[in-house]
Amino acid sequence: MSRELLESFRDGAAPNLEQLEILNDDPLFYDGNPPVKMFSPGTPRLTFLKEEGFVVPIPRWSASLTHLELARGAGSESENSFFAALGTECPLLAHLDIDASRISIEEPGFRIPSLTSLRIEFDKNEGEVSTGLRVALFDTPAVTELILYTGHGDHIFMMLHAISSPHSAFPALTSLTFGNYGCTGDGDIKLSAETPYSPLSSELFPASTTLNLTHHCFMANLVTDLLVSNPQVWPLLQTVTLCPQFSREAVAAAVLNAAHSRREQALKFRVPPLFFQYLDVEEDDLDVEVLREIDSKSSSMMQHFELDHIRYGCYSP
């Protein structure tokens, strides 16, 4: 979309506009130019805004926003001040979906008290510590749903250590999801089980009842790290959704250990049919719910499922 076209909307009024999506696929769009301003007279009914490839100033019409998606930032300039302004300029904002490249760990954090759902997508090659430090910048006391698209599953435990501090404890969080667009395999990456870690803080996500893990390599180690080796975290956990791509036999063994380790919590596991066959539900006395396939056009190599409005995809063995 050209700058000229967007600038034509600068002085336009859109009193009935409720949803706006803008995509910029031109890497030279800014090239030293200031951000584009649109709809200066106001859009009092706008509740949904999705922008990709932009650096966005806080507009005067942002007070009505409830849903904001900012994908793929334009350039390397961070926008911490932008996120800080959201806390005061967008009092109704409930859902925020962002590209982590927009956040600088060298700048102060920000408070968004109205936010209830937060989704952050990280570069697959980003280090686990910097990933955790970016999450720790968010002061969002009302967030109940946190979705993090990260790299290798073996990094998640280290990432949680980086965000394990009182100010970033997400006290209201009930649903935690770690997503991944697909690892290439367990490979030769060093396993977390071989590295001595200190226990996770019991203050980390203390109200969590749901944990979702999808597509990650080393999921067996991840399940062990989070649910067996650290029994002090997530005492209210009730449901664990797993969609492993690799080493399913090892994941099944880790599930059994986790169920026994947290027997008093009576965990329920939600799994796709491709993984259910690796579990001996009756003999091991496991509480398992099988995810229902939603896409009848799925290929023979991939099955798609959806639960709690989160879409899962699992590869066939």
DSSP string, 73-96: -SSS---HHHHHHHHHH-TT--EE
What is the pLDDT, as a whole number, of residue 316? 44
Per-residue pLDDT of the chain (317 residues; tens, 9 = 90+): 566 666 667 777 778 889 988 877 665 555 555 566 677 767 888 899 888 776 656 666 678 999 999 876 544 456 788 888 888 889 999 999 988 877 888 888 889 999 999 999 887 666 666 788 888 889 999 999 999 888 777 778 778 877 766 555 688 999 999 887 666 666 544 444 444 567 788 888 889 999 998 878 888 988 998 899 888 888 999 999 998 888 889 999 999 999 999 999 999 999 988 888 889 888 788 999 988 765 544 444 445 555 554 555 554 44
- Taking residue 19's Cβ as centre, other Cβ atoms within 10 Å add up to 11
Those residues with Cβ within 8 angstroms of residue 44's Cβ, 6 or more apart along the chain or in another chain? 15, 61, 64
Distance CA 101, CA 125 (A): 12
Which residue(s) pair with 293 in the sheet? 305
Residue 315: name the closest of 275, 255, 269 by CA: 275
Q: From residue 200, how far is each of 49, 81, 214, 228 by CA, in Å? A: 36, 30, 21, 12
What is the pLDDT, as a whole number, of residue 152? 73
Which residue(s) pair with 312 in the sheet? 305
What is the pLDDT, as a whole number, of residue 252? 94
Report pTM: 0.84
What is the pLDDT, as a whole number, of residue 103? 85
What is the pLDDT, as a whole number, of residue 116? 96
HSE-CB for 216 with a 13 A CA cutoff: 26
Q: Where are the domains of the chain?
A: 3-315
In CATH terms, 3-315 corresponds, of 3.80.10, 3.30.70, 3.30.1490, 2.60.40, to 3.80.10
